[in-house]
Amino acid sequence: MSEEPKVPTMAEYMAEGKQPEILFWVGSAGSYDDRAKKITKAFVKILNKANVDFAVLGTEESNTGDVAKRAGNEFLFQMQAVMNIEVLNAYEVKRIVTCDPHSFNCIKNEYPGLGGHYEVIHHTQFIEQLIASGRLTLDGDVYKGKRITFHDPCYLGRANSVYDAPRDVLKKTNATLIEMKRHKGTALCCGAGGAQMFKDAEPGNKEINILRTEDALETKPEIIATGCPYCNTMMTDGVKFKEKEAEIKVMDIAELIANA
């Protein structure tokens, strides 16, 4: 890294009596998972480049409880939610951006019922806004003509009907966007949702991520773009299983844009 990334915390902002434009919710994967941390850093690079006045909760952030809720543990979910809401409300947070569609969905849809009301946006939506408002400019040559296919994360797409933002961002890179047969509303899950990420699959004849990777390979992509840290892991594993990792990269949209 040439330049130290600037990652201020809410506590630091509070000490200075300031309120950032937006809170970046990093999420558990984005904080601890080695692959997902790269996505987090790529997004920070974009935020810095566009001079976005943002902050993170840092060590005051805790797991959203989303995965506990999908596993059926409503108690644990609500405990986590109430704790996080207390912190967020204490900092008077109004807007939240996150790279994780699961956090996005959970905070946007399930926190309001427990007292947490925020405007929550997914990082692909935020990047789209940054480009549209001219705060972020892209080098149109990096991905020019490259074959990219986008895998819709369930909790961004079907769960919240966000289909266009990631595609619009990809088009801005001058890449050739090729849709898989199953896309948008009928996109196939990567296999990680509903707490599956943390357990072995039930007996069957195939892993879901392999089936989804086959969908992607049909488009003969150079890059498989994702918008979710879990999808990224599943698709990366799928590409490795198919021994295609030399030709095909699996990249989050934040990583694609950070390089463009």
Partner 1 sequence: MEYLPNIIFAVILILGIGYFARNVQKLIRNIKLGQDVDVSENKSQRWKNTINIALGQSKLVKRPVSGFLHVIVYVGFIIINIEVLEIIIDGLFGTHRIGQELLPAALYGFLIGTFEVLAVLVLVSVTVFWIRRNVIKIKRFLSSEMKGWPKSDGNIILYFEVVLMGLFLIMNATDTVFQGANSGNVISQFIAPLFNGFSIEALHTVERIAWWLHIVGILTFLNYLYFSKHLHILLAFPNVYYGSVSPKGKFNNLDAVTAEVKLMMDPNADPFAAPPEGAEDEVPAKFGASDVMDLTKVQLLNAYTCTECGRCTSECPANLTGKKLSPRKIMMDTRDRLEEVGKNIDANKGEFKDDGKQLLGDYITNEELWACTTCNACVEACPVSINPLSIIMDMRRYLVMEQSAAPTELNTMMTNIENNGAPWPYNQMDRLNWKDE
**Torsion angles phi and psi, residue 238, rounded to 5:** -65, -45
Q: Which is nearer to partner 1, 3 or 198 (CB)?
A: 198
Asked whether position 62 contacts partner 1 by CB under 8 A, the answer is: yes
Residues 6+ apart with CB under 8 A from 15: none
For the residues of 65-129, what is the DSSP string, one character each?
SHHHHHHT-HHHHHHHHHHHHHHHHHTT--EEEES-HHHHHIIIIISGGGT---EEEEHHHHHHH
Q: Which of 31, 129, 174, 219 binds partner 1 (CB under 8 A)?
A: 31
Instruction: Determine the length of the chain.
Output: 260
Q: Does 241 engage in binding with partner 1 (CB under 8 A)?
A: no
Nearer to partner 1, 131 or 239 (CB): 239
Q: Is 92 in the site for partner 1 (CB under 8 A)?
A: no
Q: Under the criterion CB under 8 A, does residue 99 sit at the interface with partner 1?
A: no
Contact range with partner 1 by CB under 8 A, out of 56-64, 133-141, 171-179, 240-248: 56-64
Q: Which one of 16-24, 136-144, 153-161, 170-178 is the stretch in contact with partner 1 (CB under 8 A)?
A: 153-161
> Coil, strand or helix: which one is 147?
strand
Shortest approach of partner 1 to residue 169 CB, angstroms? 21
| DSSP H stretches of helix in 123-163 | 123-132
87 binds partner 1 (CB under 8 A): no
Query: Interacting stretch for partner 1, rule CB under 8 A, among 88-96, 102-110, 117-125, 239-247?
Result: 102-110
| By the rule CB under 8 A, 194 interacts with partner 1 | yes
Q: Does 125 bind partner 1 (CB under 8 A)?
A: no
Considering only CA atoms, which of 219, 81, 83 is closest in space to residue 149?
219
Residue 133 or residue 205: which is nearer to partner 1 going by CB? 205
Contact between 51 and partner 1 per CB under 8 A: no
CA gap 86, 45 in Å, rounded: 29
- Other Cβ atoms less than 10 A from the Cβ of 30: the count is 24
Interface residue with partner 1, options 154, 165, 235, 250 (CB under 8 A): 154
Q: Is 177 helix (H, G, I), strand (E, B) or coil?
A: strand
Site for partner 1 in 203-232 (CB under 8 A): 203-208, 210-212
Among residues 10, 22, 47, 65, the one that binds partner 1 under rule CB under 8 A: 65
> Does residue 55 come out as left (phi exceeding 0), alpha (psi in the -120 to 50 range) or beta?
beta
Least distance in angstroms from the C-beta of 254 to partner 1: 14
DSSP annotation string for 29-70: HHHH-HHHHHHHHHHHHHHHHTT--EEB-GGG----SHHHHH
Q: Do 108 and 88 meet the contact criterion of CB atoms below 8 Å apart?
A: no
Q: Which amino acid is at 249?
A: K
- Give the footprint of partner 1 on this chain (CB under 8 A): 5, 7, 9, 26, 28, 30-33, 37, 40-41, 56, 58-59, 61-63, 65, 67-76, 78-80, 82, 105, 108-110, 113-114, 154-155, 158-161, 185-186, 188-189, 191-208, 210-212
